[in-house]
Amino acid sequence: MTENVTALLSTPSPVSILPKYLRAARGESLETPPVWLMRQAGRYLPEYRAVREQHGFLDVCYTPELACEVTLQPIRRFGFDAAILFSDILLLAIPLGAGLRFDSGHGPVIEKPVRTQQDVANLHDFEPREKLAEVLSAVKLIRAELPADKALIGFAGAPFTVATYLVEGRKPDPFKNTKSLMYADPASFAALMERLTSLTISYLRAQVEAGADALQLFDTWGGILTDEEYRRCNLPYLQRIFSELKDLGVPLTYFVLNGMHLYSASQVGATVYGLDWRMTFEQARARFGEHAALQGNFDPVLLLTDEQTIRRRARKILEDAGTHGHIFNLGHGILPDTPIEHVEALLDEIRGGRA
Amino acid sequence: MTENVTALLSTPSPVSILPKYLRAARGESLETPPVWLMRQAGRYLPEYRAVREQHGFLDVCYTPELACEVTLQPIRRFGFDAAILFSDILLLAIPLGAGLRFDSGHGPVIEKPVRTQQDVANLHDFEPREKLAEVLSAVKLIRAELPADKALIGFAGAPFTVATYLVEGRKPDPFKNTKSLMYADPASFAALMERLTSLTISYLRAQVEAGADALQLFDTWGGILTDEEYRRCNLPYLQRIFSELKDLGVPLTYFVLNGMHLYSASQVGATVYGLDWRMTFEQARARFGEHAALQGNFDPVLLLTDEQTIRRRARKILEDAGTHGHIFNLGHGILPDTPIEHVEALLDEIRGGRA
């Protein structure tokens, strides 16, 4: 595998001036797809765990040097085609005044959940360029450190997904408070969504100004909605985000988990769509059109099985995805107990199989 | 509402000798659909909580009088058209030798998870008529106590769903051990599925012999599979169950949560299909055919909102489902904090709207 990476890095052909990730995101046909993995900077890496032994999760997010270090770790080790900013979709809860902490084992906790009209009105207005300045400094630093042939992906949570956390306070399942607010007080829910949408637009715009080459919007919980609810309470905000960011000229990826039933997700206006493992490439091409690039579909749990299974599944994805507009990725974040050798086997199959 | 129930119960017309649930399950067209709710015997009922203050969950399952009492509680209070045996899909873990306990707040725990060929081989053979005799006595008792116009539904977990619990040991998400076994040792996984399938068939058959009027198979976790995996590792066992139980002549319901992407679920051979809230009736009719009866689709979280929302959503379902072959139900189990008055409003809308 190392030989392949070296070969790719050391013999840039004239067409490869643009990072492979960006070429695939534009729909170009490549011999092998670019590859990165959701949560690639994370607990499965010993070098990440070493940093986290010294620093809390939020410390890493808010210290540009540390965020840069962990963002680059998987690029150094695996030569992924894209780095993704090490950050969290809930950071904006802090300047919003809702508070955020991470309880070990329980994930994020919003200290003052947002459940009433008054709670929504009490949220602070802020300018991401000021209140999330450390994150933007991290973007700048990472872009400066990252090799030119690697793309840097900035990101944010989709407003609906961020709203579910803000409203529920903890891991949102089964989304009781969110749906109650949505139905019992649609105006307040819409007001919250409006606030988050405007913030998300400024924040993502600032990330590109700081050096991000591409943007991804994570809609982890969009799939709890029916298609009708999604069209009414989620889609308009997503459309606004993608349409207002269009002038940036960078690839815009939309990833919704468990969204097979969300037919209207094809109308968000993204340039790249992320698939979880439930939606096949054939279904995604039919739904999102031939011009959209596609990324994802490899079930992260399979990275825990064995090399043969991993290689077989990777080959199937390479066949199914076709060569144009394909970015290799998982269908959800890489699991903390994924063995390093399994990631190596996956990359070897992706790069070696058709290299 | 009380008047309507009384009217229905006291003036049986010649056609209503068969419980309304069974008529709808056969595809008959009724003026108002029969209604029952998944987990209708549960924590949202004060009379259920009173029983549980005195008795543990497994005690209730294994004591026919108690199981009968809690099964009938929601029928007495709400006049639902069907009672569902109070039991648990994991009871068979005990005679299998895998052990089962319920940790408060953490749900079921399998004491000896089943993860290797040896673990599968070590499972005990047993005859449900002997080792689950108390459950079958409960069925008998409930059928004797239940009014003739109410149907009694027996049930079991789908083998795949039971397997995920046996393999994981705890709440299965993200199903690491299950998928690892499925891929790394498909023969052992198939052996486990075979064992569970045969057991499920005997167990369900025994429930009908004891008095159940209908059967439902709960496949809570079938939706974690891709359609391809489902077709290979789940469908054949489901087909065997439904085909071997056909001669019983009772309605057979298949409910898979989050199964929008499982196109092959239409081939299991059930007579009734349960929908979660993601799949619309229109999509379900297209997928399962005009002859299958349909049940479900009301998002249980909506029962926490307000009366107006509940009534509006119920009316929409009555419109969408049409009159033939429709059993009103939720898209998943009723939540413990559901207010009683909200259930009453739902029933009033279903019964009163077109009664």
When CB atoms are compared, the residue of A175, A227, A260 closest to B261 is A260
Residues of A (206-235) whose Cβ lies below 8 Å from B: 223, 226-227
Query: Has B125 been annotated as catalytic?
Result: no
- pLDDT per residue as tens digits for the range B156-194: 999 999 999 999 998 877 899 999 999 999 999 999 999
DSSP-derived pairing of the beta strands B100-103 and B107-110: antiparallel
> Which residue is closest to B337 within chain A, CA to CA?
A176
Task: Inspect the interface and report whether the beta carbons of A226 and B174 lie closer than 8 Å.
Answer: no
Residue B230 C-alpha, separation from nearest chain A C-alpha, in angstroms = 11
Whether the bond into B174 is cis, omega within 30 of 0: yes
pLDDT band at A153 (very low <50, low <70, confident <90, very high): very high
A287 at the B interface (CB within 8 A)?
A: no
Task: Inspect the interface and report whether the beta carbons of B183 and A227 lie closer than 8 Å.
Answer: no
Of residues B103 and A228, which shows the higher confidence score?
A: A228
**A18-22, A128-132, B14-18, B284-288: which has the minimum mean pLDDT?**
B14-18
Q: Which of B81, B88, B219, B276 is catalytic?
A: B88
Task: Inspect the interface and report whether the beta carbons of A179 and B299 lie closer than 8 Å.
Answer: yes
Mean pLDDT value across residues A22-51: 97
What pLDDT, on the 0 to 100 scale, is given for residue A33? Answer: 97
Residue B334 C-alpha, separation from nearest chain A C-alpha, in angstroms = 11
State ipTM. Answer: 0.90
- State the average pLDDT for chain A: 94
Of residues A105 and B334, which shows the higher confidence score?
A: B334
| Helix locations, B79-107, DSSP H | 93-96
B320 at the A interface (CB within 8 A)?
A: no
What pLDDT, on the 0 to 100 scale, is given for residue B4? Answer: 46
Q: Please give the single-letter amino acid code of residue A52.
A: R
Mean pLDDT value across residues A86-97: 98
- The size of chain A, in residues, is 355
**A100-109, A285-294, B277-286: which has the minimum mean pLDDT?**
A100-109
Mean pLDDT value across residues A237-254: 98
When CB atoms are compared, the residue of A176, A277, A305 closest to B180 is A305
What pLDDT, on the 0 to 100 scale, is given for residue B353? Answer: 53
Instruction: Check: CB of residue B269 under 8 Å from CB of residue B239.
Output: yes
Of residues A30 and B355, which shows the higher confidence score?
A: A30
Burial B58-90 (b: 16+ CB within 10 A, else e): bebbbebebbbbbbbbbbebbbbbbbbbbbbbb
pLDDT band at A105 (very low <50, low <70, confident <90, very high): confident
pLDDT band at A6 (very low <50, low <70, confident <90, very high): very low
Residue A11 above 60 pLDDT?
no
Residue A301 C-alpha, separation from nearest chain B C-alpha, in angstroms = 6
Active site residue ranges of A: 39, 43, 52, 88, 165
What pLDDT, on the 0 to 100 scale, is given for residue A353? Answer: 53
Residue A16 above 80 pLDDT?
no
Multiple choice CATH, A2-7+21-352, 3.40.1050.10, 3.30.70.270, 3.20.20.210, 3.20.20.10: 3.20.20.210
Query: Has B232 been annotated as catalytic?
Result: no
Q: Please give the single-letter amino acid code of residue B80.
A: F
B102 at the A interface (CB within 8 A)?
A: no
Mean pLDDT value across residues A265-292: 96
Residue A227 above 70 pLDDT?
yes
Task: Inspect the interface and report whether the beta carbons of B302 and A261 lie closer than 8 Å.
Answer: no
Size of interface A-B (CB pairs under 8 A): 70
| Helix locations, chain A, DSSP H | 2-10, 20-25, 46-54, 57-62, 64-78, 93-96, 117-122, 128-131, 133-145, 159-168, 176-184, 186-210, 227-233, 235-245, 281-288, 307-321, 340-352
Mean pLDDT by 10 residues, chain B (355 residues): 44 66 96 97 98 97 98 98 98 98 86 96 97 98 98 98 96 88 95 98 98 98 97 98 98 97 98 97 96 97 95 96 95 97 98 63
Mean pLDDT value across residues A195-200: 98
Task: Inspect the interface and report whether the beta carbons of A299 and B226 lie closer than 8 Å.
Answer: yes
Residues of B within 8 A of A184 (CB-CB) are 305-306, 309
What pLDDT, on the 0 to 100 scale, is given for residue B3? Answer: 43
What pLDDT, on the 0 to 100 scale, is given for residue A171? Answer: 81
What pLDDT, on the 0 to 100 scale, is given for residue B104? Answer: 76
